[in-house]
Structures are given as C-alpha cells and as structure tokens.
Structure 1
Amino acid sequence: MIDMTPNVVLVVTIGVLFTAGVYLLLERSLSRVLIGVILLGNGANLLFLVAGGAAGRPPIVGVEPEGQMSDPLPQAMVLTAIVITLGMTAFLLAMAYRSWQLHRHDEVQDDVEDRRIARLAAIDERATADDDTEEGTETLDDEAATARDETDEGLPADEVRR
C-alpha cells in the first residue's frame, strides 16, 4: 500500500507561497504584483505535485506494475502552469518597464471614474440612475410593446407576435 499522506513541510510552504502571493497581488506596484504572480505560480505547482500523490516509477506500460507507477497528469499540469506563469511574468515585466519609461515609477494610479464612484459611495449616493428599478408610469407590458427588435425589421407587429 502506497502512503498518500502529504509532507507537512510542503503543505506549509504552499500556504506561505499562496498567502504571500495574494498579499503582493493587492499592492499597487507592478513589481510587487509580478513577484506575487510568481509566488502564486510556484505555490500552484507545488500544490499539483503534492496532490498527485507519492512519487513512483516511470509511467511506461509493461515495464512496471500499475500500482508502482507515478501519475503523469500532475506533471503535465505543472508544465502547463509553468508556461502560463512565464507568459504572465513577461506581460507584467513589459507593463512595468513601459510604466517606468513613461512615469519613472511602476505604481498603478487610480482611475478618475474609480475616484468618483468612491466619493459617491462615501456620501452614500448612487453614481447612475437605474431606469429598470425606478418607479415609472409605464408597466413592463407597455415597455415590451414599444420596444424595438432589430431582428424583426419590416414585419408588422401582429405578425411578430405569431
């Protein structure tokens, strides 16, 4: 029987990598976000390998008994995760470099619209009027009758309802 209990040190390492990665993703500096993505990628890779079970013999049919072979799926998933993390790293590096060229810092600034919505939320006021939920004189049946459907161009209203 193969022992399927994970190594406690690896589980704690995975937890630390995910915690530090999420914390760094919440920062405004693109270089810190980049380090957070790398830590999350490494944590996911370790998680895949730990979840794959104990290491075994090479998965070649006919050479080893089935019970002693390792599962190749977690290894394939780790390779895919490495490629995805590498692509994200390259993209974030390019964004940080471009931000450094333009502004001499890599901090992501607030959007003007975000600031406006935050200001309105602070005074508990809506940013836009919601026509669907506001009280009006027209019922839903009246709105449906007057609504224009572009797919029914040229057909009279009584033919559309059939």
Structure 2
Amino acid sequence: MEFLIASAIGALVAGGVYLSLRARTFQVVLGLTLLSYAVNLFLFAVGRLTVDRPPLYAKGVADYADPLPQALVLTAIVITFGMTALSVVLALRSFLESGSDQVDGIADEEAES
C-alpha cells in the first residue's frame, strides 16, 4: 500500500513539474494543480492511513485516526482553489493584453522571426 501511495505522489509531482515548465499558461495552471494534489496526498500519507478507527479519541480506545492531516488537507484544498482561480484570471488577463497564451507573452510567429 505504501508503494502505491508513494508511486501516485511521484507521478503527480513528475506530471506537475513537467506541465509547470511548459510554455503555455493553461498547461502551467494544470501543473500547479497537479502539484497541489500531490501535496494533499502526501499530507494524507503522513497522517498514517488507518481503517476502521474512530476519528477522535474516545475513552477506552487505544488507537484512533489523527484528525490533523485531514484538517490540513481541507485547508490546502481551499488555498488551492483560490490559487487556481487567481492563476486563471491572471492567464486570461495576460491573453487579453498580449493576444498570446505563451508564458512570456510573445506569440509563436513573433518568436520565430
């Protein structure tokens, strides 16, 4: 199970870094989103995945699920939504100003000449 989680985190990080280094703004936004998914999955994995355990400490229960990683992931999801919305608005504004969706703002035909 740990190998599967680690492989999923590695694949998400690799895909996120690859897309973040692309030249088009939409691919960069998708790359940042994949990186945030990888961070969320990592936070869940750090909290020790437990099954059939109560979420909070109860009297007489020796083993329980840690609620802190769940709270961190919920906070990270909200922050990711805000970051993605801001990135999309900035990319749209850049496209409307420059007429190109390239990260550097230079259109393909201008870059070749």
Q: TM-score range by the shorter chain?
A: 0.7 to 0.9
Separation (CA, whole Å) in 1 of partners of 2:56 and 2:44: 19
Residue deviations 1:102-127, cap 9 Å, x none? 223221227xxxxxxxxxxxxxxxxx
Count residues with an aligned counterpart: 104
Is 2:55 aligned against 1:59? yes
Give the structure-2-normalised TM-score: 0.81
Shift of 1:41: 0.6
Q: Give the aligned partner of residue 18 of structure 2.
A: 23
Q: Give the aligned partner of residue 75 of structure 2.
A: 80
Give the structure-1-normalised TM-score: 0.58
Identical-pair percentage: 39
Q: 1:49 to 1:64 in 2, by over 3 A?
A: farther
Amino acid in structure 2 at the alignment position of 1:51: V
Q: Which has the higher helix share?
A: 2
Separation (CA, whole Å) in 2 of partners of 1:90 and 1:82: 12
Amino acid in structure 2 at the alignment position of 1:74: P
Amino acid in structure 2 at the alignment position of 1:54: L
Separation (CA, whole Å) in 2 of partners of 1:97 and 1:76: 32
Q: Give the aligned partner of residue 108 of structure 2.
A: none
Separation (CA, whole Å) in 2 of partners of 1:86 and 1:45: 13
Is 2:22 aligned against 1:7? no
CA contact (8 A) 2:56 2:66 kept: no
Q: 1:64 to 1:96 in 2, by over 3 A?
A: farther
Gaps of 5+ in 2: 106-113
2:43 aligned to which of 30, 44, 48? 48
Question: In angstroms, what is the RMSD of aligned CA positions?
Answer: 1.8
Higher Rg: 1
Residue deviations 1:6-40, cap 9 Å, x none? 53122101001001111211223211110011000
Gaps of 5+ in 1: 1-5, 111-162
